[in-house]
């Protein structure tokens, strides 16, 4: 029993890893530009289909990840330039417009790939598991991979935001947009680049989710909603909010799903989040009472 609990909490860590990858892009966009991208789930889905396409052409997973990043970042660029750049000052309506974008992406993908799901294989390297205990369940390598990739993505993001010239501008825009504009920073360009980067991360999320779930048209939505919850719980005041929120939600859902079932797990975690935001209205790492 204890052994199973331990394995489940390790699995929860893997789930949290996926959540970090899926939520990081969303949180950065929300943190800097103040908009939530309702098409995030569809961006994840596009990333998964890129992985499926690479797989069907005989390419490796490790080729699919950067390709998914590039493809979805370009998609994000199109969406940002086409729709979102006009409505940054109306965050609620951005939700509606991006929801529409999501619908359109979904239909186009359905037209291209059909409604059937596409299987994606793991590279041989990740086929196997760490045998912590003699008896199964073992801890599969791909979970390790998810956690490692999540850490890598957070590290890269941290480096970009806190250690580069570009990141300095991003933080300036985020602190005080009009002042940053006065100092000659092209805020629209910062928004655009951040949106591209965040979208690209969604693509990576899709590419690594695809092998465990198969690429389907509606796969992204539940990850997107979990990512929104990560933002609500973790907050966007600080980059640490993403891993914290993901860890709590991933572990909570996995352990409760193990104890009861998936739906009860999600329900209880949701209730816990709703109660938690009474204590942390802007998330655990949010600005206090920032308006």
List residues near other proteins by CB under 8 A. 30-32, 34-36, 83, 86-87, 89-97, 99-104, 106-108, 111, 174-177, 221-222, 225, 228-229, 231-232, 236, 261-263, 266-267, 270, 273-275, 277-278, 281, 287, 289-291
Q: What is the C-alpha R_g of the chain?
A: 19
DSSP 90: -
Which is nearer to other proteins, 94 or 254 (by Cβ)? 94
Shortest spacing between CB 212 and other proteins, in angstroms: 19
Which is nearer to other proteins, 4 or 222 (by Cβ)? 222
Which is nearer to other proteins, 17 or 102 (by Cβ)? 102
Shortest spacing between CB 49 and other proteins, in angstroms: 18
With beta carbons less than 8 A apart as the criterion, state whether 237 and 287 touch. Answer: yes
DSSP 35: -
Which is nearer to other proteins, 141 or 280 (by Cβ)? 280
Shortest spacing between CB 102 and other proteins, in angstroms: 7
Which is nearer to other proteins, 90 or 163 (by Cβ)? 90
Mark 175-196 as b/e (b = at least 16 C-beta within 10 Å). Answer: eebeebeeeebebeebbbbbbb
Shortest spacing between CB 265 and other proteins, in angstroms: 10
User: 252: which 2 tokens?
Assistant: 């909570």
Q: How far is CA 48 from the centre of its chain?
A: 13
Shortest spacing between CB 157 and other proteins, in angstroms: 17
Got the DSSP string for 169-190? HHHHHHH-HHHHHHTT--HHHH
Which is nearer to other proteins, 135 or 175 (by Cβ)? 175
Which is nearer to other proteins, 8 or 94 (by Cβ)? 94
Shortest spacing between CB 28 and other proteins, in angstroms: 11
Q: Is the dihedral of CA 282, 167, 88, 243 positive or negative?
A: negative
Return the number of other C-beta atoms located less than 10 Å from residue 59's C-beta.
Answer: 14
DSSP 235: -
Shortest spacing between CB 3 and other proteins, in angstroms: 28
With beta carbons less than 8 A apart as the criterion, state whether 77 and 195 touch. Answer: yes
Residue with tokens 């092998």: 211
């Amino acid at each position: 029993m204890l052994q199973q609990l331990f394995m489940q909490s390790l699995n929860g860590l893997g789930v949290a890893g996926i959540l970090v990858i899926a939520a990081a892009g969303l949180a950065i966009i929300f943190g800097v530009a103040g908009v939530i991208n309702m098409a995030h789930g569809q961006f994840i889905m596009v990333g998964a289909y890129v992985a499926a396409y690479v797989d069907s052409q005989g390419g490796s997973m490790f080729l699919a990840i950067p390709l998914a990043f590039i493809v979805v970042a370009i998609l994000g660029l199109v969406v940002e330039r086409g729709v979102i750049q006009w409505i940054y000052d109306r965050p609620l309506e951005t939700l509606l417009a991006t929801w529409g974008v999501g619908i359109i992406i979904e239909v186009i993908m359905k037209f291209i790939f059909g409604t059937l799901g596409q299987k994606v294989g793991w590279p041989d390297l990740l086929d196997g598991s760490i045998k912590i205990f003699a008896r199964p369940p073992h801890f599969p390598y791909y979970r390790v991979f998810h956690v490692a990739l999540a850490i890598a993505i957070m590290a890269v993001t941290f480096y970009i935001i806190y250690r580069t010239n570009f990141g300095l501008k991003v933080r300036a825009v985020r602190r005080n947009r009009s002042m940053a504009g006065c100092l000659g920073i092209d805020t629209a360009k910062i928004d655009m680049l951040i949106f591209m980067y965040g979208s690209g991360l969604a693509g990576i999320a899709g590419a690594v989710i695809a092998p465990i779930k198969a690429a389907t048209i509606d796969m992204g939505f539940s990850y997107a909603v979990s990512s929104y919850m990560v933002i609500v719980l973790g907050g966007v005041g600080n980059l640490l909010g993403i891993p914290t929120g993901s860890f709590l939600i991933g572990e909570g859902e996995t352990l409760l799903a193990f104890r009861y079932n998936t739906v009860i797990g999600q329900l209880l975690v949701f209730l816990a989040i709703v109660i938690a935001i009474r204590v942390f209205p802007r998330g655990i790492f949010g600005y206090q009472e920032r308006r």
